[in-house]
Amino acid sequence: MKQHQRLFLSLVAIAFSFVLRVHAGVPDSIPQHVRAWDEYLEEQRYLGLLSDEELAELQQLYDELRHSPWDINEVTPEELQRIPFLRDFQVTCFIDYRRCSGPFRSLSDLKLVRGWDAKLLTLLLPVLVCREGREQEKGTESRGQLEFVGRVSLRKQTETKQEGLGGNESALLRFLYERKRHTSLYLSAEKDYLEPWNYGRHRGFDSYNAHLAIRERGLLHSLVLGDYRVTRGCGLVLGQGIYPMSFLSLAPRLPEGIRPIRSSTETNFCRGIALELGHRSFRLGTFASARSLDGKVDEDKVITSLSETGLHRTSSEWSRRAMVPMRLFGGWVEYREDLWRIALQGVHQDWHRYILHSASGASHRPRLHDLSSSSALSLSYAVQSRQGQAKLMGELGRSNLGAWATIHHLLLQQLQVGDLRLSYWYVGSDYWSYYGHGGTHALRPNDEAGGRFMWLVALPLSATSLELYADRYRRLSEAKADTVKHRGWSYGANLNVELNQRKTASLLASFRERRKAGESKVQRFSLSLHQAQKEWESTCTFRWSRAGGKASWAVLGVVHTELRPHIRISLFGDYFEAPNWQSRLYASHPRARYEYTSMLLFGEGYDLGLRLTWKPNYHILLEGKIVHQHQRYDTRPSMTQATFTLLYRP
């Protein structure tokens, strides 16, 4: 492709983001910043502050809340903690206002809550509702909600060689029934690209998920049968799918408890029974799980590898499918007051009659070889000031091998200089927990010490926000080593500027640099301009990264509008040059419903796509998405992908 053609495609991506203005004649039908959640998550992922698993978890939360928004007169502090835009100080002020002033009369009353500004309200409006009096009683007496979802995706590549056992189609079936927020029943089945419908004795979808959940019934706080995730403390012993799950994230908010699976997943979850009881200030919980993981087992019943990718596309991957049985048991007891809480939790896991050759992510530690089981016990705490401006939380854990680990977070908010967050972690060389996700830079919490500093600067300009952060870590066992391989640091900044008083245009600039011993530095920069009008909404983004001595860049554009009151259309495109894997980029394209992956930008080429959504009434939603990625060189295949989704609520 010639230089002028590259320039032309880049200009097209920018032009249709700002010039194309389709007037639908329905001025108030499109809420402003309807993609704010998506943009926030994509930006965090691009900078390396969110993992793929964290991104999927938050996208699932957004889908859940768009389907069943929280009533601001009923929502609990624990639920509010799950929203990434909300700080602890804002949650505390919300609860205090509702307790002192009584029920909210409308969503506009949220403007009266301290710390809840117009920008935050715009971000949260799609996931909140307000019911009062008879309307609230009527909602409580509802007969429940039922949802059926069917999704089929087709993918065509320029390569003629078939690399998988199955075809280039994926499929998802999803069923959800909810009643009064107290009962839910969920079933899902999914098959991914290149996975077979029939192979050996296998027939049907590749993976299934299901749960029956009962919540808030007298002493019963939560009961789940089926698939669920459990989080306790700071995630040192047990942290399945929490947000944020690692110190890569800026704000350590850790929602605790049992969460039933509401998506199709094969990663990081339990399958069995979980129970939590509560009376006044006490909470008592327990769970038991038994499921099979992918892996290799030799003739001596030694597990040589473990995997939870859930990909079964080739005969080699299929031979490892569900080969390793894993049993997990645990429990906790907690005492909590308004301003503080303390809890003791423990977990035990084994692999039935098998031996784990080496702990995942800790193969360099001899004491973590040939494990028949693994156990850990921890004490967690959290204490905050009455207004929520200061909060200290942490966890101290010990494994069955006698190794110790600790994590602590200090949050100081609404200071004259802004918000400050400090974190420190020390994880012993022989400490390890398979489902722990305490935030180390390794796959599992093991053999690391480090700290993090984050400062949300209080600027004199109300329309501007600046976020600065830095962290540093090292592997403990390399303290006296001649060669250091696992030591690094990173720093970065996020700048957000509102360009007008109506807050319909904003500019976001982000930069991050990461260095690791023995490796070249990785730099990432992003500049995004967002506009939201009554009839349309657009975003134009420039992204740049440098790693391995090579630089990558991309220009992306997105436009959203409504053709008619029930028909919404999104147009998107990009041009990219990403020559190596280390500096790869991701495209923040509009997602199809229950789609949790981003388009990878690797190679050189462009993407063009369209998403069309038709929602004639509450009961039916039809959505189609098509995207074509053209690659300039044959080293990467060009690809066209189409996705069709049907959602039905009786």
Of 67-81, 304-318, 408-422, 424-438, the range with the lowest mean pLDDT is: 67-81
Report pLDDT for 254.
Answer: 54
618-624: list long-range contacts, CB under 8 Å, 24+ apart: 618/649, 619/648, 619/649, 619/650, 620/646, 620/647, 620/648, 620/649, 621/593, 621/645, 621/646, 621/647, 621/648, 622/646, 622/647, 623/592, 623/593, 623/647
Q: By percentage, how much of the chain surpasses pLDDT 90?
A: 38
Q: Rounded to two decimals, what is the model's pTM?
A: 0.85
pLDDT per residue as tens digits for the range 39-62: 677 666 666 666 666 676 777 777
Residue 83 pLDDT grade (very low, low, confident, very high; cuts 50, 70, 90): confident
Residue 271 has pLDDT above 80, yes or no: yes
Query: Which is more confident, 28 or 639?
Result: 639
Report pLDDT for 256.
Answer: 78
Q: What whole-number distance in Å separates Cα of residue 207 and Cα of residue 311?
A: 10
What residue ranges in 432-547 does DSSP mark as E strands? 448-457, 464-474, 487-498, 505-516, 522-532, 536-547
- Average pLDDT over all residues of the chain: 83
Tokens of residue 48, six digits:
């390396």
Q: What whole-number distance in Å separates Cα of residue 573 and Cα of residue 587?
A: 9
Residue 440 has pLDDT above 80, yes or no: no
Q: What whole-number distance in Å separates Cα of residue 506 and Cα of residue 501?
A: 10
pLDDT per residue as tens digits for the range 470-512: 989 999 988 776 666 788 889 999 898 888 777 678 888 999 9
Nearest to 231 by CA among 263, 253, 264: 253
Of 13-22, 357-366, 634-643, the range with the lowest mean pLDDT is: 13-22
DSSP-derived pairing of the beta strands 207-217 and 369-371: unpaired
Tokens of residue 53, six digits:
């698993």
Region 180-188 average pLDDT: 86
Task: Please give the torsion angle defined by the CA atoms of residues 292, 298, 299 and 303, in that order, rounded to the nearest 10 degrees.
Answer: -50
Report pLDDT for 80.
Answer: 86
pLDDT per residue as tens digits for the range 192-216: 888 999 998 899 999 999 999 998 8
pLDDT per residue as tens digits for the range 604-617: 999 999 999 998 88
Report pLDDT for 144.
Answer: 54
Query: Which is more confident, 144 or 497?
Result: 497
* Cβ–Cβ < 8 Å for 541, 588: yes
Report pLDDT for 5.
Answer: 46
Region 317-345 average pLDDT: 94
Region 286-301 average pLDDT: 93
Report pLDDT for 527.
Answer: 93
DSSP-derived pairing of the beta strands 373-384 and 390-399: antiparallel
Report pLDDT for 355.
Answer: 95
Tokens of residue 72, six digits:
């601001």
pLDDT per residue as tens digits for the range 529-572: 988 887 888 889 999 999 988 999 999 999 989 888 889 999 99
Report pLDDT for 506.
Answer: 84
Report pLDDT for 19.
Answer: 39
Residue 228 has pLDDT above 90, yes or no: yes
Residue 138 pLDDT grade (very low, low, confident, very high; cuts 50, 70, 90): very low
Q: What is the DSSP string of 573-629?
A: EEEEEE-SGGG-EEE-PPPPTT---PEEE-EEEEEEEEEEEE--SSSEEEEEEEEEE
Report pLDDT for 22.
Answer: 36
